[in-house]
């Protein structure tokens, strides 16, 4: 075997780390009510980029151990690749904006793109840790491999827990709203929403087929998140995406009590699904505020 | 509406239909005079259908065809 050739031990380390890293990406790649990424093309793209991320993580340690210090550039390569994933997602979703029932909004797109980027980091770090543990442990390869797999799985769950975001259902109650049409205006639970129902047909359609939910924040400070236009647009988008949208969709906030209204004329008449989808809508990272650090203690205050 | 005004949706007034001649003024959209309430209603619905737009009925009875 020549000096430049990789040893069979290194190949085993790389393969184990690569499998664990790719599995980590696969386990967080789920198609849920949001229907994104779409199956099968979106899946394939994400699995392949996840595989590449895991490969970068798996190869870095064995390369360094063979005094191939150029391998450090792998890390910069990884960063660049992950940034490209975010950019790709952002561009793709932005281009789709005009073809959806309603806008996702730039805040939501940014959140989705960041999630895809971070999931590649997850695959990378899991593979890197697995590879590191197998390399540094003093036992034989198979024992090291088994411990490496356990460490990889633990790192995966820790990262998954760490990156898990909250949803609207965690900070607010979502209840069905009563739709009324007075003159040409739409009201939900007595709150004005829109006056776009100027024709008889419009009023009739909304009265007969319109659905609405009202979001009640659990605490007053949660209004900072819920009042955010991007957050409301994200909830409205998920509602139209899940139930379809025959005509009209509205979101409105109540300044006095902080209620948020989501109203639409859906294709699928299912109020329970509408409540569920709004509850599950993720809280956008850009709207997140930690209430505790919004109450700074002044000098002398206890 | 604060910040929302500068964000999508972007409203455009496409037509204004009124039964009062005094309110027919030149503007970016078409301002039309209707001879009766029924006429105004029919004109508005036809324009809205053709332009795939929404209709707002003002308190004074006039119609505004807008696109969101």
Domain edge (last residue) among A164, A185, A216: A164
Same-domain status, A157 and A29? yes
Half-sphere exposure of A160 (CA within 13 A, CB side): 16
User: Given pLDDT bands bounded at 50, 70 and 90, which one contains residue A297?
Assistant: low
pLDDT the model gives residue A298: 61
Its domain, for residue B43, covers 2-67
Same-domain status, A17 and A130? yes
Same-domain status, A24 and A122? yes
A207-249 residue pLDDT tens: 999 999 999 999 888 888 888 888 999 999 999 999 999 988 9
Same-domain status, A223 and A105? no
| Residues in chain A within 8 Å Cβ distance of B8 | 103
**Hey, of A108, A194, A199, A250, which one would you mutate to test binding to chain B, going by the most B CBs within 10 A of its CB?**
A199
B3-52 residue pLDDT tens: 454 455 678 889 999 998 888 887 777 889 999 999 999 999 999 989 88
- Cβ distance A202 to B41 less than 8 Å, yes or no, reads no
Q: In whole angstroms, give the CA distance from residue A222 to residue B51.
A: 41
Q: What percent of chain A has pLDDT over 90?
A: 43
pLDDT the model gives residue A209: 93
Query: What 3-state DSSP class applies to A73?
Result: helix
Give the residue, A162 or A70, on which the prediction is more confident: A162
User: Given pLDDT bands bounded at 50, 70 and 90, which one contains residue A1?
Assistant: very low
Q: What share of chain B is helix, strand, coil (3-state, %, to 5)?
A: 35, 30, 35
Is B68 within 8 Å of chain A by CB?
yes
Paired tokens of A159: 């990262």
Residue A265 in domain: yes
Q: In whole angstroms, give the CA distance from residue A85 to residue A46.
A: 9
Residue A301 in domain: no
CA dihedral of residues A225, A226, A230, A233 (deg, nearest 10): 160
Distance from CA of A197 to the nearest CA of B (A): 6
Average the pLDDT over A147-163 and give the result. 93
| Residues in chain B within 8 Å Cβ distance of A196 | 54-56, 66, 68
A97-132 residue pLDDT tens: 888 888 888 888 988 888 889 999 999 999 999 999
Same-domain status, A22 and A124? yes
Closest CA to B9 of A92, A103, A278: A103
pLDDT the model gives residue A299: 64
**Hey, of B1, B7, B17, which one would you mutate to test binding to chain A, going by the most A CBs within 10 A of its CB?**
B7
Same-domain status, A179 and A145? no
- Cβ distance B66 to A196 less than 8 Å, yes or no, reads yes
Give the residue, A152 or B4, on which the prediction is more confident: A152
- Averaged confidence pLDDT in chain A: 87
Same-domain status, A48 and A98? yes
Q: In whole angstroms, give the CA distance from residue A249 to residue A188.
A: 13
Same-domain status, A135 and A219? no
Residue A50 in domain: yes
Please tell me the total count of domains within chain A.
Answer: 2
Same-domain status, A70 and A190? no
Does the interface predicted TM-score (ipTM) exceed 0.85?
A: no
Residue A97 in domain: yes
- pLDDT at residue A276 is higher than 90: yes
pLDDT the model gives residue B6: 46
Same-domain status, A49 and A102? yes
Distance from CA of B50 to the nearest CA of A (A): 14
A54-78 residue pLDDT tens: 999 998 888 888 777 777 787 888 8
**DSSP H or E stretch at residue A39:** none
Same-domain status, A51 and A124? yes
Q: What percent of chain A has pLDDT over 70?
A: 90
- pLDDT at residue A141 is higher than 50: yes
pLDDT the model gives residue A290: 64
B9: cis peptide before it, omega within 30°? yes
User: Given pLDDT bands bounded at 50, 70 and 90, which one contains residue A35?
Assistant: low
- Cβ distance A202 to B55 less than 8 Å, yes or no, reads yes
Please tell me the total count of domains within chain B.
Answer: 1
Its domain, for residue A177, covers 169-284
pLDDT the model gives residue A65: 82
Same-domain status, A135 and A207? no
pLDDT the model gives residue A275: 95
């Amino acid at each position: 075997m020549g000096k430049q050739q990789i040893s069979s031990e290194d190949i085993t380390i790389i393969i184990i780390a690569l499998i664990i890293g790719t599995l980590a990406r696969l386990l967080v790649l789920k198609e849920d009510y949001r229907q994104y990424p779409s199956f099968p093309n979106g899946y394939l793209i994400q699995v392949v980029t996840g595989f590449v991320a895991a490969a970068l993580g798996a190869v870095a340690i064995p390369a360094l151990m063979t005094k191939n210090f150029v391998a450090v550039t792998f890390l910069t390569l990884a960063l660049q690749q992950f940034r490209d994933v975010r950019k790709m997602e952002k561009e793709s979703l932005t281009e789709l904006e005009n073809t959806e029932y309603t806008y996702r909004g730039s805040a939501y797109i940014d959140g989705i793109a960041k999630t895809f980027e971070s999931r590649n980091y997850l695959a990378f770090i899991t593979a890197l840790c697995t590879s590191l543990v197998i390399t540094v442990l003093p036992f034989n390869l198979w024992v090291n491999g088994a411990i490496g797999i356990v460490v990889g799985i633990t790192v995966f769950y820790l990262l998954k827990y760490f990156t898990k975001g909250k949803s609207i259902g965690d900070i607010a109650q979502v209840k069905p709203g009563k739709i009324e049409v007075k003159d040409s205006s739409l009201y939900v639970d007595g709150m004005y929403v829109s006056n776009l129902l100027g024709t008889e047909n419009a009023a009739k359609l909304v009265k007969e087929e319109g659905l609405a939910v009202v979001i009640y924040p659990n605490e007053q400070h949660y209004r900072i998140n819920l009042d955010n236009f991007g957050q409301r647009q994200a909830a409205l988008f998920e509602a139209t995406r899940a139930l379809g949208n025959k005509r009209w969709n509205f979101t409105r906030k109540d300044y006095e009590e902080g209620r948020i209204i989501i109203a639409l004329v859906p294709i699928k008449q299912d109020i329970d699904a509408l409540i569920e989808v709004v509850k599950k809508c993720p809280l956008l990272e850009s709207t997140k505020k930690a209430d505790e650090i919004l109450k700074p203690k002044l000098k002398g205050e206890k | 509406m604060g910040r929302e005004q500068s964000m999508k949706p972007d409203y455009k007034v496409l037509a204004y239909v009124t039964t009062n001649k005094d309110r027919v003024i030149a503007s970016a959209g078409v301002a039309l005079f209707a001879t009766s309430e029924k006429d105004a209603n029919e004109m508005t619905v036809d324009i809205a259908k053709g332009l795939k737009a929404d209709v707002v009925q003002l308190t004074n009875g006039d119609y505004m065809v807008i696109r969101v």
